Chain A
């Protein structure tokens, strides 16, 4: 906390904090207000006498009804959920094992391999989707959920591996040595001692991976084409923007509903998540 006079607290703490909170929350507010605003208000010109962009007197659920009944939104939600969960699971399993190996097993070139994995994470998706689309086509995976379930790990595994490697390195190696003297094999020591201690790290990696795949846009746009296969980010933007016509109400309703699962995941695990980013283990 900032010590001293009251005005210092306001100038250096409360006012910047308020500005920050406002900046972060305003898009959400805009999303909500647009989702419940009737069309007549949405398309009212800015110089009309009753123009009130930040408020509505006649909230409506019409856009949400339209989204759920007239579009494939619920299918998109289901698609996104399955794809995000499965790719997160694959990436977590691989990332935990790879991270453990890189942190603990002294094999030749472990350091170089670790760096190599990190470098693949830095290759932008906007470049990688070109060769990947070739691969997806060759395996005849185009327009199926597998196209995404198998390509998302290309960026999720490096990320999970790197995060888990850091976490495992912070766990004192004596714990494991002690377990091995106590009669556990290397695998059992990992299973019973290291993994339970690493739960906060695993949760953080999982939340991140889930969020990344939930929000992913470019692979989903390129690899999926039929409307019933799409994910929320692609479905909403491709089906609710027709030509140059933006259906703002349903669009924002889709964005709102689409962000709910991620918000839920974060709020459930926020404590573990913070522990995973900041802490390790105290002896």
Chain B
């Protein structure tokens, strides 16, 4: 068990600056998820923690030790790879025992630990098979087993679920979560899938172009994104954005463009007030829109034309055109909507987001 501390971490590959000044405290027993689009530096950061990439500048500490110059074998970590990286010429048992054999554990202890891990993961029956005789999910479990027999200080996961089919991925996600709760080992998990990030992480790091965008608990990131990128990256369907102009009206504030004319709720007015006469990016999540009733005030609702209706069963997604913008609204499953029909939609005033168009940071 250990914390992982990253200080001013940088990585340059020739011309490419892949990781820029990353600072992070990963607490003991925490499940930390790195998420971001491909090429954002999340895997490179993980590989630097593992010792598979050299550090250009900065420090990485595991526990109390600076590990910058330690080879991977001395860092007391275990890693699960996207393609599982099972040793194809060894049985499942030998795959799991390899790390312990390398560390000169005695035979009895190796046997005990491998069986213990195999029981946790439900792969006891496959111990004598070769990896090629296993299904994708079973291979994934072996890869996990190989990591947990070592009782390392930190688990590193590099997109471990992305080679599985959708159903199995959901199942393994739950198992990973359970496993972490049971073992309590600090875990660093890299994924490009925001659902995995939200569901697995105690905290989530969102990265883009080698820069950390925001660190926080999943719901904190979801409800209070620090910038436009985080707001758009987390959540599916993604948050709606619309360029608006801020105006003063009747003692309050108003945002407006071709299709929208909404009152700014008083709690936000202070921060938005600085932008009177200027433009802002307004953001609202699809689930914070609903079909308006007569009771809804006119200045917290707007009119839209329905372009596409997607009925998912649990909810209905409406693709709308609002002035020059398109928006998505997630409304109740049996919502009375038809293509090309006009609708009034009400916004949840507590969940409106505003971003500075130049800096893209939240207002």
Point out residues on A near B: beta carbons under 8 Å.
172, 174-175, 177-185, 188, 192-193, 196-197, 281-283
Separation in Å of the A275 CB from the closest CB of chain B?
Answer: 12
With A182-B146, A184-B102 already in contact, the answer to whether A177 and B73 are too (CB < 8 A) is no
- Chain B residues 71 to 102 lying within 8 A of chain A, measured CB to CB, are 71-73, 75, 77-79, 81-89, 98-99, 102
With A177-B72, A178-B79 already in contact, the answer to whether A183 and B85 are too (CB < 8 A) is no
Report A-chain residues with C-beta under 8 Å of the C-beta of B75: 181
Identify 11 new A-B residue pairs, CB closer than 8 A, beyond the known A174-B81, A282-B132: A177-B52, A177-B79, A178-B85, A181-B77, A182-B150, A184-B98, A192-B98, A197-B89, A282-B88, A283-B83, A283-B85
Provide the bound-state CA to CA distance between A73 and B91, in Å. Answer: 48
Separation in Å of the A55 CB from the closest CB of chain B?
Answer: 51
Q: Are A182 and B85 in contact (CB under 8 A)?
A: no
Kindly state whether residue B103 has any CB partner on chain A within 8 Å: yes
Residue of A nearest to B97 (CB): A182
- Enumerate 21 A-B pairs (CB-CB under 8 Å) in ascending A order: A172-B83, A174-B82, A174-B83, A174-B85, A175-B87, A181-B51, A181-B72, A181-B75, A181-B78, A183-B102, A183-B103, A185-B73, A197-B87, A197-B89, A281-B88, A282-B132, A283-B83, A283-B85, A283-B88, A283-B131, A283-B139
Report A-chain residues with C-beta under 8 Å of the C-beta of B72: 177, 180-181
Report B-chain residues with C-beta under 8 Å of the C-beta of A178: 79, 81, 85, 87, 146
Separation in Å of the A200 CB from the closest CB of chain B?
Answer: 11
Kindly state whether residue B50 has any CB partner on chain A within 8 Å: yes
Q: Are B99 and A182 in contact (CB under 8 A)?
A: yes
Provide the bound-state CA to CA distance between A208 and B307, in Å. Answer: 67
Q: Are A183 and B99 in contact (CB under 8 A)?
A: yes
Count of residues in B whose CB is under 8 Å from the partner chain: 28
Provide the bound-state CA to CA distance between A181 and B102, in Å. Answer: 10
Contact of A177 (CB < 8 Å), options: B85, B103, B139 = B85
Q: Are B73 and A180 in contact (CB under 8 A)?
A: yes
Q: Are A193 and B102 in contact (CB under 8 A)?
A: no
Q: Are B81 and A182 in contact (CB under 8 A)?
A: no
Residue of B nearest to A188 (CB): B102
Separation in Å of the A179 CB from the closest CB of chain B?
Answer: 7
Q: Are A179 and B88 in contact (CB under 8 A)?
A: no
Which applies to chain A's interface (DSSP): helix, strand, loop or mixed?
helix
Residue of A nearest to B150 (CB): A182
What is the 8 Å Cβ interface bit string for chain B, positions 122-144, against chain A (1 contact, 0 not)? 00000000011000000100000
Q: Are B73 and A184 in contact (CB under 8 A)?
A: yes
Report A-chain residues with C-beta under 8 Å of the C-beta of B83: 172, 174, 283
Report B-chain residues with C-beta under 8 Å of the C-beta of A282: 88, 132
Provide the bound-state CA to CA distance between A282 and B88, in Å. Answer: 8
Separation in Å of the A49 CB from the closest CB of chain B?
Answer: 66
Separation in Å of the A102 CB from the closest CB of chain B?
Answer: 20
Report A-chain residues with C-beta under 8 Å of the C-beta of B98: 179, 182, 184, 192
Residue of A nearest to B47 (CB): A177
With A178-B81, A180-B72, A181-B72 already in contact, the answer to whether A193 and B87 are too (CB < 8 A) is yes
Separation in Å of the B70 CB from the closest CB of chain A?
Answer: 12
Report B-chain residues with C-beta under 8 Å of the C-beta of A179: 87, 98, 102
Q: Which 8 A-B pairs have the closest CB atoms?
A: A182-B99, A183-B102, A174-B85, A178-B85, A174-B81, A181-B72, A183-B73, A196-B89
Q: Are A283 and B86 in contact (CB under 8 A)?
A: yes
Provide the bound-state CA to CA distance between A182 and B71, in Å. Answer: 11
Report A-chain residues with C-beta under 8 Å of the C-beta of B99: 181-183
Report B-chain residues with C-beta under 8 Å of the C-beta of A172: 83, 85
Report A-chain residues with C-beta under 8 Å of the C-beta of B131: 283
Contact of A181 (CB < 8 Å), options: B50, B87, B139 = B50
Provide the bound-state CA to CA distance between A193 and B89, in Å. Answer: 8
Q: Are A182 and B73 in contact (CB under 8 A)?
A: yes
Residue of A nearest to B103 (CB): A183
Report B-chain residues with C-beta under 8 Å of the C-beta of A281: 88
Separation in Å of the A206 CB from the closest CB of chain B?
Answer: 18
Provide the bound-state CA to CA distance between A178 and B144, in Å. Answer: 12
Report B-chain residues with C-beta under 8 Å of the C-beta of A196: 89
Q: Are A181 and B73 in contact (CB under 8 A)?
A: yes
Residue of A nearest to B52 (CB): A177
Instruction: Choose among A178, A179, A180, A282 the residue with the greatest number of B CB atoms under 10 Å from its CB.
Output: A178
Separation in Å of the B356 CB from the closest CB of chain A?
Answer: 42
Report A-chain residues with C-beta under 8 Å of the C-beta of B102: 179, 182-184, 188
Separation in Å of the A28 CB from the closest CB of chain B?
Answer: 37
Instruction: Choose among A182, A197, A281 the residue with the greatest number of B CB atoms under 10 Å from its CB.
Output: A182
Separation in Å of the A247 CB from the closest CB of chain B?
Answer: 51
Separation in Å of the A107 CB from the closest CB of chain B?
Answer: 14
Separation in Å of the B32 CB from the closest CB of chain A?
Answer: 18
Report A-chain residues with C-beta under 8 Å of the C-beta of B51: 181
- Chain B residues 31 to 80 lying within 8 A of chain A, measured CB to CB, are 50-52, 71-73, 75, 77-79
Q: Are B71 and A180 in contact (CB under 8 A)?
A: yes
Separation in Å of the A180 CB from the closest CB of chain B?
Answer: 5
Provide the bound-state CA to CA distance between A183 and B50, in Å. Answer: 12
Report A-chain residues with C-beta under 8 Å of the C-beta of B86: 283
Provide the bound-state CA to CA distance between A182 and B81, in Å. Answer: 13
Report B-chain residues with C-beta under 8 Å of the C-beta of A181: 50-52, 72-73, 75, 77-79, 99
Provide the bound-state CA to CA distance between A278 and B102, in Å. Answer: 32
Provide the bound-state CA to CA distance between A185 and B70, in Å. Answer: 12
Separation in Å of the A272 CB from the closest CB of chain B?
Answer: 13
Report A-chain residues with C-beta under 8 Å of the C-beta of B139: 283
Residue of B nearest to A182 (CB): B99
